[in-house]
Chain A
Amino acid sequence: MDSLRVISKRSFLLGLLCLILILLATSPHYIPPYTVILLTSIFMYIIITVSWAIFSGPTRYISLASAAFFGVGVYASAILGFVLPLPAVIVIGGLVSFCLALFIGLLTLRLRGMYFIIFTFGISELIKHFILWWEANMTGTVGRWVVVVDHTTVYYVMLVIFVILMLTAYLIRRSKFGLALQSIGANEEAAAHTGINVTLVKVITFAISASFMGAVGAIMATRWTYIDPRIAFNPLLSFMPVLMAIFGGVGQLYGPILGAAIFTYLEEFLITEFPYYYMLLFGLVLVAVILFLPNGLVGLIEKWRKGGLKRQHADT
Chain B
Amino acid sequence: MGGIYALIAMGLSLQYGVARVLNIAHGEFIMLGAFATFSLYTVFGISPLVSLVICGPALFIIGFLIHRTLFQYLRKTSESIDIFEGNSLLASFGLLFIIQNVALLIWRADIRKYSYLASPVSILGAIFAANRLVALLFAVVLSLAFYIFLTRTRLGKAIRSAAQEPATAQMMGVNINRVLAICFGLGALMAGFAGPLISMMYEVQPVMGLQYTIIAIIVVVLGGLGSITGSLIGGFILGLIGSIVTYFDPGLSLVAYYVIFILLLLVKPTGILGK
**Residue positions of A touching B, CB distance < 8 A:** 60, 62, 107, 110-111, 113-115, 117-119, 122-123, 125-126, 129-130, 132-133, 136-137, 235, 239, 242-243, 246, 276-277, 279-280, 282-287, 290-291, 294
Given contacts A122-B261, A243-B93, 14 further A-B contacts (CB under 8 A): A62-B86, A110-B266, A111-B269, A117-B22, A118-B265, A133-B251, A280-B101, A280-B102, A283-B101, A285-B94, A287-B70, A287-B98, A290-B74, A291-B70
Interface residue ranges of B253-269 to A (CB < 8 Å): 254-255, 258-259, 261-262, 265-266, 269
Q: Are A132 and B251 in contact (CB under 8 A)?
A: yes
| A286 CA / B86 CA spacing, docked (Å) | 14
Q: Are B251 and A239 in contact (CB under 8 A)?
A: no
Collect the chain A residues with CB atoms within 8 Å of residue B101's CB. Answer: 277, 279-280, 283
| A242 CA / B210 CA spacing, docked (Å) | 18
- Report if A279-B100 is in contact (Cβ < 8 Å); known contacts: A115-B265, A122-B258: yes
Interface residue ranges of B94-109 to A (CB < 8 Å): 94-98, 100-102, 104-105
**Residue positions of B touching A, CB distance < 8 A:** 22, 70, 73-74, 77-78, 82, 85-87, 89-91, 93-98, 100-102, 104-105, 210, 214, 217-218, 221, 225, 249, 251-252, 254-255, 258-259, 261-262, 265-266, 269
Collect the chain B residues with CB atoms within 8 Å of residue A125's CB. Answer: 214, 254, 258
Q: Are B265 and A130 in contact (CB under 8 A)?
A: no
| A114 CA / B258 CA spacing, docked (Å) | 17
Q: Are B87 and A294 in contact (CB under 8 A)?
A: yes
Q: Are B77 and A294 in contact (CB under 8 A)?
A: yes
Collect the chain A residues with CB atoms within 8 Å of residue B258's CB. Answer: 122-123, 125-126, 129
Q: Are A118 and B221 in contact (CB under 8 A)?
A: yes
Q: Are B252 and A283 in contact (CB under 8 A)?
A: no
10 A-B pairs closest in CB distance: A283-B97, A286-B94, A126-B258, A283-B98, A280-B101, A287-B94, A279-B101, A129-B254, A283-B94, A290-B91
Closest-by-CB residue of A relative to B218 is A122
Q: Are A286 and B70 in contact (CB under 8 A)?
A: no
| A45 CA / B89 CA spacing, docked (Å) | 21
| A246 CA / B94 CA spacing, docked (Å) | 13
Pairs A–B under 8 Å by Cβ, sample size 18: A110-B266, A117-B22, A126-B262, A242-B90, A246-B90, A277-B105, A279-B100, A279-B101, A280-B97, A280-B98, A280-B102, A280-B105, A283-B95, A283-B101, A291-B73, A291-B74, A291-B77, A291-B91
Q: Are B87 and A111 in contact (CB under 8 A)?
A: no
